[in-house]
Amino acid sequence: MLNASDLLERVRMQKPLVHHLTNWVTIYDCANIVKAFGASPVMAHAKEEVADMASLASALVLNIGTLTSDLVEAMALAAHAANCKGIPVTLDVCGAGATKFRDDKCFEILEKVKVDIIKGNASEIARIAGEKVQTRGVDAMAVEEDLRDLAQELAKERSCTVVITGKEDIVADGERVILVKNGHPMMANIVGTGCMATSVIGAFSAVENDYVAAAASGLVCYEVAAEIAAKVARGPGSLKVEMFDAVYSLDAKAVEKMQRIEA
C-alpha cells in the first residue's frame, strides 16, 4: 500500500537538493513548488558546472520545454554525473511530438544517459514510445491507445518508470501500474502544473528508491494540495498562490484521507 504521507515527511525531513535543468517559462514555479515541499531546488545549466552541481544533489530533473541544443548538451552532462553518482534522473518530455527537433533531442538524451523516470502527457509519451502522434504545443491531444499499455511498453523498452499525467495519472515500471486519481480540473487552466508535477516527482525520487512509489506519492501529495487550493481559488491566479500555500501546509492526515489511488 502506497504511503504517500510517509514520503512527504521524508522530503520535509531530508530536504533533498534537487538539481534542475528546466525551461524558462516555469523555472520559477518549479523552484517554488520544490521549496514549498521543504526540499531545496537548485537551477544550474552551464556546461562547466552541471556535473559538479548534479554531484551535490540528491535528484536531477530535466525538462525540455524551452530546449536548445546547448541546453540538451548540458542536460546530458548533468545526467551522466547523476548516473555516476547513482541519483535518480527524471525527464519531462514537454512538447515532444510538436517538432522533430524535440523528438530527436528526447531520444538523444534517452540514448546517451540513463533516465529513471520519463514523464509527459498522453501524446508526448505516445511519441516517445514511437507512436505517430502530433502534439499540439504543450497541450495534449487525445490518443487512441490504451494508455496503461503505452506506459508499460515504454517502461519496459527503456527500463524505467513512466508517468503519464492527465485526468488520471498513470505510473508504471513495466510490472506494476498505479493510477493517481487526485487533482482538479482547474489545474488545466494554469501554466506550469505539468512542470511542477515533474519537479515534485524529482523531489520524491530523492527520498525513495522505488520510483513508482516515489512518483505516485509525489503526484498524490501535489494533487491533494491542488484540490485543497481549488476549494478557495477564484481563478488561475489565486489557484497558483493557494497551491503553494496548500503544499507548504499539507497535512499528512489530509493526504491519507484524500488520496485516491488504484494499484
Based on the shown chain and the rule CB under 8 A, indicate whether residue 99 belongs to the binding site for a copy of itself. yes
User: Beta partners for 17?
Assistant: 40
233 three-state secondary structure: coil
**How many Cα atoms sit within 13 Å of 258 on the Cβ side?**
21
Q: Which of 5, 8, 23, 182 binds a copy of itself (CB under 8 A)?
A: 23
Residue with cell 503553494: 244
Which one of 243, 255, 259, 261 is in contact with a copy of itself (CB under 8 A)? 243
d(CA 19, CA 7): 19
- Size of site (CB under 8 A) for a copy of itself: 60
What cell numbers appear for 129 in the block?
514510445
Single out the segment in contact with a copy of itself by CB under 8 A; choices: 37-45, 83-91, 171-179, 252-260: 37-45
Q: Which residue(s) pair with 227 in the sheet? A: none
95 touches a copy of itself by CB under 8 A: yes
Is 86 near a copy of itself (CB under 8 A)?
no
Q: Is 66 in the site for a copy of itself (CB under 8 A)?
A: yes
| Residue range at the interface with a copy of itself (CB under 8 A); choices 100-108, 125-133, 206-214, 215-223 | 100-108
What value, to the nearest 5°, has the Cα angle with vertex 51 and ends 205 and 118?
35
Q: State which of positions 136-165 bind a copy of itself (CB under 8 A).
A: 136-139
Each residue 196-225 as x (binds a copy of itself by CB under 8 A) or -, in order, gives: ------------------------------
Q: Which of 218, 242, 255, 261 binds a copy of itself (CB under 8 A)?
A: 242
Q: Which among 4, 58, 15, 5 has a CA at the least distance from the CA of 171?
A: 4
d(C-alpha 252, C-alpha 238), whole Å: 23
Strand blocks (E) in the chain? 17-21, 40-43, 59-63, 89-92, 117-121, 161-165, 169-172, 177-180, 261-262
Per CB under 8 A, the list member of 26, 83, 182, 259 interacting with a copy of itself is 26
Q: What is d(CA 116, CA 158) in angstroms, rounded to the nearest whole number? A: 9
Q: Does 254 bind a copy of itself (CB under 8 A)?
A: no
Least separation in angstroms between residue 68's CB and a copy of itself is 5
- 60-68, 85-93, 112-120, 203-211 -> range binding a copy of itself (CB under 8 A): 60-68
Stretch of residues binding a copy of itself (CB under 8 A), selected from 4-12, 17-25, 76-84, 85-93: 17-25
Tell me how far CA of residue 157 lies from CA of 28, 111, 147, in angstroms.
Answer: 33, 12, 15
Q: Which of 68, 159 has the CB closer to a copy of itself? A: 68
CA distances from 140 to 59, 120, 222 (A): 27, 9, 20
- Indicate if the alpha-carbon torsion angle 177, 180, 185, 188 is positive or negative: negative
Residues at the interface with a copy of itself (CB under 8 A): 17, 19, 23-29, 31-32, 35-36, 40-46, 48-49, 52-53, 56-57, 65-69, 95, 98-102, 136-139, 189-192, 234-238, 240-249
